[in-house]
Amino acid sequence: MAWLDLVMTLCLMQLVAFSILVGRARIRYDIQAPATSGHETFERLFRVQMNTLELLVVLIPAMWLAAKYWAPHWIAVVGVVYMIGRMIYLRAYVRDPASRTVGFGMSILPVLGLLLSILVGIVKEI
């Protein structure tokens, strides 16, 4: 379970890092809170942060639940794929939002896979 805990912690740290990027952009582009618009780069970073938060709310409990039914080290690998997808998504979205597809796919597919694996695990135990 240590690998699972490590990957989940890294996922949370990634969200914190994205939040720091948003905070720095807020200062750089003089976007006063609570505004969430005003400069294109800030808006893109903010959307990456919010999309990451939205997925993380499902990812973390899904990883815990999936690890009840499947080998935790494989669930950790799925989390690593998610994190790599998030980095690709960040770079692509900030550069050109239309190019975010690969990063988004590498983020959402692990989440959906985990949810499906939980259902399969539950059915196997019924």
54-85 tens-digit pLDDT: 999 999 999 999 999 999 999 999 999 999 99
- pTM for the whole structure: 0.95
Q: Report pLDDT digits (tens) over 1-21.
A: 899 999 999 999 999 999 999
Q: Report whether 92 contacts 102 (CB < 8 A).
A: yes
Classify residue 29 as exposed, middle or buried by CB count within 10 Å of its CB (0-12, 13-18, 19+): middle
* 103, 19, 2, 79: CA torsion to nearest 10: -10
* 25, 107, 14, 2: CA torsion to nearest 10: 180
Indicate the SS3 state at residue 120.
Answer: helix
Number of domains in the chain: 1
CATH, residue 106: 1.20.120.550
Full residue range of the structural domain in which residue 98 is found: 2-125
